[in-house]
Structure 1
Amino acid sequence: MLKIHGIPRSRAFRCIWAAEEAGLPYEVIPIGFQPGFKLERAVEINPNNKIPALEDGSLVLFESLAINLHIAGKAGAPLMPTGDDASRVMQWTLWAATEAEPHVMRWSYNAYLKPEADRVASEAAAGKEALDLRLAVLEKELAQRPYLLGSGFTVADLNLASVLYGSWLNGYDYAPFPKVKAWLEACMTRPAALKARKQREG
């Protein structure tokens, strides 16, 4: 059984969603936060002392998107395709981490995550401006096909959608990007996503 260390209201949500999509049994080992985004206790198996971390038998992994690639690999196709599409999965996963997430988080911290008194409007605006440039790229890609790799959902979609999830849930304006908005809604209303979201939002 997979052991996911974290709580659903963290990046562990991504891994819970992946396990649901893969149809693999898993257990969430709860580790939450104190004020200031500090963990309530140390994560001994993660040298970075962050969540999530994964135990799969003797294998220990950290980094949520890498964990998801591992989970998808265990499930195989269609969640984790083969051949050139496997390389495209890696491309979009790294794009999610390097191009999208820094700007998502810059906006998120200053739009809803931090206490209102600590938010900086100019930082939220800068995050949105940078993210919108990336969403314009994504809009062009999704104008060509319904999902990142083609006609079917894969872990590439899961990884990028899960990075955008918090902004989507908390009022980010996706209206200028209708293809992105429709794709996000399709991803987030999948049965496995709804099961994971129930844990996070419930």
Structure 2
Amino acid sequence: MIRLHHSPQTRSMRVLWLLHELDEPFEVVPHAFDKSLRAPEYLVLSPAGRVPALEIEGERMFESGAITEYLCERFSPDGLGRSPSNPERMAWLVWVHFAETLSQHCAALTQQHVALREDHMRSPIVMKLEAARIKKCYQALEDRLSPPIENRDYLLTGGFSAADISVGQAVYMARFFAKLDEFPAVRDWYARISQRPAFQASLPLPGTGIFTQDFYPPWEV
């Protein structure tokens, strides 16, 4: 049995989405996104006290990128994954891990907007810089999805993969802080992948999650 330790609207969402796409039996252990993740019993699963953590056949994993690689190699090596002999393997690895580049900017903005509860604690400069960095990531995706010859439906020519899941979840989070209006190829790609039943199944239930609103900077409103 696969057991995913999950908090809504965190990186564990990308593993939840992947598990729904794989259609393998699994169960979800819900966690609040709070100090309970530092409890000794949870630190056995994830030493840094973060989600996701994955239990599988008596072993445990943490780090969403590593979990994504393992699950794809085991259950869908040339479907949602790309095996080492696949010519798209290099690009698959790049985009699976590019999700973390985007996510780190989202994490910085989550800290500024959510974790720091008083205005005097927040830095407008940091918020502006991190929102701009998200847009630089959007531009990288726009370039990837809009090559000179023809538009791509997905990040890889061979079709939908865990690269779209990982980056798509990061874009889901980033949209709370930076709009997609200036990036039509990214906007259309995101609309396409977010219609998938597995994505919908990974969304937070009403009243759960970290975010209850968008946090667009004042100059975008």
Q: Match of 2:105, SS?
A: helix
Q: Is the 8 A contact 1:106 1:127 kept in 2?
A: yes
Distance 1:107 1:51 in 2: 18
Counterpart for residue 95 of structure 2: 92
Distance 2:115 2:146 in 1: 31
Distance 2:80 2:207 in 1: 24
Q: Deviations over 1:141-190 (max 9, x none)?
A: 1013121111521001111111221122x252111111111112212221
Distance 1:165 1:201 in 2: 17
The change in CA–CA distance for 1:25 and 1:157 in structure 2 (over 3 A counts) is same
5 Å matches for 1:76-115? 76=76, 77-82=78-83, 83-97=86-100, 99-112=101-114, 114-115=116-117
Counterpart for residue 2 of structure 2: 2
Shift of the alpha carbon at 1:17? 0.6
| Residues 1:172 and 2:170 aligned together | no
Q: Which amino acid aligns with 1:41?
A: A
The change in CA–CA distance for 1:33 and 1:140 in structure 2 (over 3 A counts) is closer
The change in CA–CA distance for 1:105 and 1:49 in structure 2 (over 3 A counts) is closer
Counterpart for residue 190 of structure 2: 184
The change in CA–CA distance for 1:49 and 1:138 in structure 2 (over 3 A counts) is same
With the length of structure 2 as denominator, give the TM-score of the two structures. 0.79
Counterpart for residue 159 of structure 1: 166
5 Å matches for 1:8-27? 8-27=8-27
Distance 2:54 2:199 in 1: 19
Q: Which runs of 5+ in 1 are unaligned?
A: none
Distance 1:108 1:179 in 2: 26
Distance 2:82 2:133 in 1: 31
Distance 1:5 1:38 in 2: 12
Q: Which amino acid aligns with 1:175?
A: D
With the length of structure 1 as denominator, give the TM-score of the two structures. 0.86
The alignment covers a number of residue pairs equal to 198
Counterpart for residue 129 of structure 1: 132
Structure 1 or 2, whichever has the larger Rg, is 2
Distance 2:81 2:141 in 1: 20
Q: Is the 8 A contact 1:142 1:180 kept in 2?
A: yes
Distance 1:69 1:189 in 2: 24
Counterpart for residue 150 of structure 1: 157
Distance 1:164 1:200 in 2: 20
Q: Which runs of 5+ in 2 are unaligned?
A: 209-221
Distance 1:188 1:112 in 2: 25
Q: Is the 8 A contact 1:107 1:125 kept in 2?
A: no
Shift of the alpha carbon at 1:49? 2.5
